[in-house]
Structure formats: structure tokens, C-alpha cells
Amino acid sequence: MHRHRHGHHHGSAWDTIKTVFYALLIAGAIRTVVFEPFNIPSASMVPTLLIGDYLFVSKYAYGYSRYSLPWGIGPSSVGRLFERVPQRGDVVVFKKPPENDIDYIKRLIGLPGDRIQVSEGRLYINGQMMERREVNNVVERDREDNIVRAPQYIETLPDGREHRIAESMGDIGPADNTPVYLVPPGHYFMMGDNRDNSQDSRFLSEVGYVPAENLVGRAEITFFSVDTSIAQWWQVWKWPMAIRFGRIMKRIE
């Protein structure tokens, strides 16, 4: 009887180990193939995304490349499997060139063959100035707990998609007057919605044109958000004051 109970306990422990292993395997597969969580550490996508937002990115949206796998361990010769063409206006997570090992999130503004320019703060796509209309100022706290106010606009892209942008320095920011960028084949042009506080494709030596292979996925929904000037995600006792309840399960547009 003693040996029987010992074998039973041994079997239960092994079953538990197998269950945990399979659960981790399934979670890893979901993270690799379906959805991956990301958090927002910077203000480059204000007002669309705020510091302290946690979001899900669909890995299947554009197909799969080596960067769909953890640490980019896939073979470089694969290109993209089940490739789908991203749409202008998508909010995209990608590996920042040229290092290709840092996750960035920006809005896709330029498709292959497009001519992109910013002149006096206004966005031009293929020679056409994008319409924008002013709305209430963005009011947010930065990492130093300072109140930040910036003019906010709703910008309309050529296909009619709209999104909000912030212009903290008005139309005289460091990248508010640029040359014309011709997006190469197989590449995309990315810009942050916080136009005066974003390192993006306008800075060719820092980011530049993003290869299709570098796309990780499309940002879909904010599943959690915490005001990091009040509490970090692990400071549960401060959550009642810090959680941005209005941003939970909010679709990213």
C-alpha cells in the first residue's frame, strides 16, 4: 500500500509538470503566432498611446518573418510567410533598423513608391497635403510628473482614415520641414503621432525606411493602462488611483 501511494504521488507530480510544460508551450505558440503583449515606455505615440499602456499586437496581421520569433532567431532567407500588405494608417510594431533588435511602435504613413514630406508641420503624401482639424489640447503627465499640454489635431489620410496627432512645438519642430522621401520597394515609412517627440523614418540615420521583413505585427487593443507617474504596474496598492479604466479594452485606431 505504501508503494502504491508513493507511485500515485509520483504520477501526480509528473502530471503537474506535464501540464505546466504544455501550458507554457501553448502560451509560447500563441505569443509567437497569434498575439503578443507589448507595453508603451515613451510618449512618441501620444495621444493615441500613452506611457503605461499595455496592448496586444496581432502577429498574423502581416504574415510571419524571422522577427515573428523571439529574439529574431528565424532564418534570414525566409522573407515573409503568408505575407499580407499593411494598410496606410496602421499602428505597427517593428524592429528598428539598422540594429533590428529594438521594438518600435509607430504609424505607417508611407507605402512603397510613395513620396512623403513634412512642410511647415503639415504632412504631404505624393504631393497632396493631408487635411487636419484642431481639437482640444492633449493634457498628459510625463515621466517627471510634469503636466504637458500640446495642440492636438485629427489628421485625415488619403483613404479617409483618421487619427489624432500632437504638435507640442506647433509647426516649428525639429522635423517639421523635411526633404521629400521616396519610399523604396519593400519598405515602409513610419511616423509617431507625437510629431515633435518621435524618432521615426524622418530621421534616416536613426530609423529611416523600415523593411517589410522587420514588421512584427499590428497593434490592436489596449488591455491595461496605468499612469506611471502615480504607480508602476506591480504597485497593486496604488492601482485604484493609477489605472486608466477608460483605456482598458480600447481599440487602437
Q: Using CA atoms, how far apart are residues 240 and 230, in angstroms rounded to an integer? A: 10
106 is catalytic: yes
Residue 56 sits at φ, ψ, to 5 deg, of: -105, 135
Please state, in angstroms and as integers, the Cα–Cα distance from residue 80 to each residue in 53, 85, 88, following that order.
29, 11, 19
Q: Which three cell numbers stand for residue 237?
A: 496598492
Q: What is the pLDDT of residues 166-194, one digit of tens each?
A: 998 999 999 999 999 999 999 999 999 99
Given a cut of 90, whether residue 12 has pLDDT beyond it is no
Please state, in angstroms and as integers, the Cα–Cα distance from residue 181 to each residue in 117, 126, 127, 204, 219, following that order.
6, 10, 11, 9, 25
Contacts of 202 (CB under 8 A, 6+ apart): 118, 175, 178, 181, 191
Calculate mean pLDDT across residues 242-249: 94
User: What does the DSSP 8-state code read for residue 79?
Assistant: -
Check: CATH 2.60.120.380 for 34-251?
no
Is residue 170 within 8 A of residue 151, CB to CB? The reply is yes
Q: Work out the burial of residue 28: count CB atoms within 10 Å of its CB; fewer than 13 is exposed, 13-18 middle, 19 or more buried.
A: exposed
**In 3D, which of 152, 179, 171, 158 has the Cα closest to residue 110?**
158
User: Residue 231 half-sphere exposure, CB side, CA atoms within 13 Å?
Assistant: 14
Which of the pair, 99 or 223, is modelled with greater confidence? 223
238 is catalytic: no
Catalytic hit among 44, 198, 201, 225: 44
Catalytic hit among 59, 106, 198, 201: 106
Which of the pair, 109 or 11, is modelled with greater confidence? 109
Q: Using CA atoms, how far apart are residues 119 and 175, in angstroms rounded to an integer? A: 9
| 138 band by pLDDT with thresholds 50, 70 and 90 | confident
Q: What is the pLDDT of residues 207-245, one digit of tens each?
A: 999 999 999 999 999 999 999 888 887 888 988 899 999
Calculate mean pLDDT across residues 195-199: 95
Given a cut of 90, whether residue 165 has pLDDT beyond it is yes
| 144 band by pLDDT with thresholds 50, 70 and 90 | low
Calculate mean pLDDT across residues 59-72: 78
Give the type of residue at 168.
S
Q: What is the pLDDT of residues 123-133, one digit of tens each?
A: 999 999 999 99
